[in-house]
């Protein structure tokens, strides 16, 4: 159910966008928590650089969480942003437990960023396809930002990407 708004997009388009936004909101909350997990637990000779990088990345991802939730509300939807909903609905692979080495954290974080980025690119096409250019533009900005974050994290990889 959508809340009343004078937004001129049709109710059908708004409802479809709200669904896509909420799907990504859950995963963005999960992505943020995965990056903080790495930030808190990373160990190794490059600890401080990677620890600070993960904090920067987590902060940027948190802006995406807010943007997704606010766009949902602007369309008359309800943002489903609780941890319980995120845990239930995230499309990301769960973060691996028991890792501490910086190489493993860099790999896990870069994999999560890449997976979210791939889905964001799909959401660009999806939302543009059913007529919501503004939500497509939001996902374009998120995708562009994720590519830059992935580049920064992957700069710390010890092995070439596969």
Name 101's bridge partners: 43
CATH number at residue 36: 1.20.1260.10
Q: Which of 40, 148, 155 is nearest to 107 (CA)?
A: 155
Reported in sequence order, the residue ranges of 96-148 that DSSP labels E, i.e. its strands, are none
pLDDT for the residue numbered 130: 96
Residue 23 DSSP SS3 = helix
Residue 3 lies in a domain: no
Residue 47 lies in a domain: yes
In a domain, 161, yes or no: no
Which residues span the domain enclosing 146? Answer: 15-154
Residue 153 pLDDT = 98
Can you state the angle between helices 133-154 and 11-41, rounded to 10 degrees?
20
Total tally of structural domains belonging to the chain:
1
Residue 4 lies in a domain: no
- Give the bridge partners for 144, in sequence order: none
67 Cα distance to chain centroid: 11
Residues of the chain with pLDDT under 50: none
pTM of the entire structure?
0.95
- In the prediction, which pLDDT does 1 show? 81
Write down the pLDDT at residue 159: 63
Is 58 among the domain residues? yes
**Three-class SS state of 65:** helix
Q: What is the pLDDT of residue 118?
A: 98
74 in any annotated domain: yes
Longest pairwise C-alpha distance within the chain = 55
pLDDT value for 158: 79
């Amino acid at each position: 159910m959508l809340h009343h708004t004078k937004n001129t997009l049709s109710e059908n388009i708004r409802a479809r966008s709200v669904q896509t936004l909420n799907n990504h909101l859950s995963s963005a909350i999960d992505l943020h928590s995965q990056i903080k997990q790495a930030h808190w637990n990373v160990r190794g000779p490059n600890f401080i650089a990677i620890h600070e990088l993960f904090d920067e990345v987590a902060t940027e991802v948190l802006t995406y969480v807010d943007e997704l939730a606010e766009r949902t509300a602007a369309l008359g939807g309800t943002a489903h942003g609780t941890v319980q909903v995120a845990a239930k609905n995230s499309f990301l692979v769960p973060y691996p437990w028991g890792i501490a080495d910086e190489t493993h954290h860099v790999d896990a974080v870069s994999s999560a960023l890449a997976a979210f980025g791939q889905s964001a690119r799909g959401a660009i096409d999806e939302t543009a396809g059913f007529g919501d250019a503004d939500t497509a533009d939001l996902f374009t900005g998120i995708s562009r930002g994720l590519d830059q974050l992935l580049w920064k994290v992957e700069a710390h990889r010890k092995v070439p990407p596969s």
